[in-house]
Amino acid sequence: MNKTIVVTGGAGFIGANFVLTWLNQSLGTVVNLDKLTYAGNLENLTTLEHNPHHIFVQGDISDQALVAQLLAEHQPYAVVNFAAESHVDRSIHGPEDFIQTNVVGTFHLLEAVRAYWGNLSAENQQAFRFLHVSTDEVYGSLGKNDAAFTETTAYAPNSPYSASKAASDHLVRAYHHTYGLPTLTTNCSNNYGPYHFPEKLIPLVIHNALAGKPLPIYGNGLQVRDWLFVEDHCAAIRRVLEAGKVGEVYNVGGWNEKPNIDVVRTLCRMLDSKKPRADGKSYADQIAFVQDRLGHDQRYAIDASKIARDLGWKPQETFESGIEKTVNWYLEHQGWVNNVASGDYRHWVSKHYTERGEEMA
């Protein structure tokens, strides 16, 4: 079997970071299957334009015939599934796309992979892996003093997004138990870093701050997320692919729990020193408390001790070092942000935040 892998959703935030680092390390050819929804962006991959080890295919994971054809043609030893609808707020406005891609799409992908895997030689069947990239949100919401999520925490998804991801995790589990498909699942906490689409909290705040717009904080801003630099997540996925035990789940997190308001204040302080406002005031003056997210989960926290103990992975970046790299990247890539922040993005921002009492078109 050759050194080719298929990556789905590799033009999105985490998928693009994964593909870029994989190819930087010359780990083999990547066949990148991405539908190019509003969140997929080929600009994330421009440095790979002339790289013969990157084969981009625009298509849907629900297109079983296309996936079957790609698998037959490229004979990968692994499929890494990032493709998903990923934004909680969008899932509240319109859950259907989430069910279609995250549930039905994962099902069709699994079916195509099962057929391909079933026809491999015994040796290649053993070497094959299907790695499903999932989220800590499937475990629901924690109270202030609850222990962090482990791999055995019961599923309790609260949003259409997390419910659709939970369904996909269950399908992956079932395909291992029923058919013996060699699966691996990772459940990761909130990522941040380069190429993060500016509908999500950290890039939205950086973008709005520089544009002189309000920095919208849902509710009281005391909800807690566990932040992980995206390259650390990519390293964890590589490690699980390399050494994870088939059929197992690995939680991935940064041991970096922060209330949203602290994250936003940190970003404001960094921007105050790196790119001061023309009027000498702080970006924190732009903070605006807006109507809360429906069903907003209070706290996520990942217990990442299993992956540390069994596979020797731990994050390389602290929140301080990772957020500094991230702010620098956004300041150096304003062209990328401006290209992304047009079209459908403007429509989304205007509709979503006007409903919360902020004009942000």
Nearer to ligand NAD, 283 or 313 (CB): 313
Is 292 in the active site? no
Which is it for strands 257-259 and 224-229: parallel, antiparallel or unpaired?
A: antiparallel
Nearer to ligand NAD, 34 or 231 (CB): 34
Annotated catalytic residue within 136, 257, 297, 317: 136
Q: Nearest residue to ligand DAU, using CB?
A: 135
Residue from 44, 86, 101, 102 touching ligand DAU (CB under 6 A): that is 86
- Binding segment (CB under 6 A) for ligand DAU, from list 84-92, 240-248, 251-259, 328-336: 84-92
Nearer to ligand DAU, 5 or 287 (CB): 287
Count of positions (residues) in the chain: 361
260 binds, among ligand DAU, ligand NAD, none (CB under 5 to 8 A by kind): ligand DAU
Segment 173 to 192, residues that bind ligand DAU, using CB under 6 A? 189-190
- Binding segment (CB under 6 A) for ligand DAU, from list 3-11, 37-45, 86-94, 336-344: 86-94
Annotated catalytic residue within 34, 60, 85, 137: 137
Q: Nearest residue to ligand NAD, using CB?
A: 12
Residue in 357, 273, 339, 361 with CA at minimum distance from that of residue 46: 339
* By CB under 6 A, residue 217 contacts ligand DAU: yes
37 binds, among ligand NAD, ligand DAU, none (CB under 5 to 8 A by kind): ligand NAD
| Nearest 10 degrees: Cα torsion 41, 260, 161, 44 | 10
Report how far residue 211's alpha carbon sits from residue 183's, in angstroms, rounded to the nearest whole number.
Answer: 44
35 binds, among ligand DAU, ligand NAD, none (CB under 5 to 8 A by kind): ligand NAD
Residue from 88, 110, 172, 267 touching ligand DAU (CB under 6 A): that is 88
Residue in 251, 14, 34, 48 with CA at minimum distance from that of residue 153: 251
Report how far residue 94's alpha carbon sits from residue 225's, in angstroms, rounded to the nearest whole number.
Answer: 23
Annotated catalytic residue within 116, 139, 161, 250: 161
Burial 225-234 (b: 16+ CB within 10 A, else e): bbbbbbbbbb
Report how far residue 167's alpha carbon sits from residue 159's, in angstroms, rounded to the nearest whole number.
Answer: 12
Is 137 in the active site? yes
Residue from 201, 228, 249, 327 touching ligand DAU (CB under 6 A): that is 201
Is 139 in the active site? no
Distances 161 to 36, 88, 89, 252 between C-alpha atoms, Å: 19, 6, 9, 19
Report how far residue 5's alpha carbon sits from residue 113's, in angstroms, rounded to the nearest whole number.
Answer: 12
Interface ranges with ligand NAD (CB under 6 A): 8-9, 11-15, 33-37, 39-40, 60-62, 82-86, 101, 105, 133, 135, 165, 188, 190-191, 197
- Binding segment (CB under 6 A) for ligand DAU, from list 46-54, 177-185, 215-223, 332-340: 215-223
Contacts of 256 (CB under 8 A, 6+ apart): 226, 227, 228, 318, 319
Active site residues: 136-137, 161
By CB under 6 A, name the binding residues for ligand DAU. 86-88, 135-137, 189-190, 200-201, 204, 216-218, 223, 225, 260, 293, 300
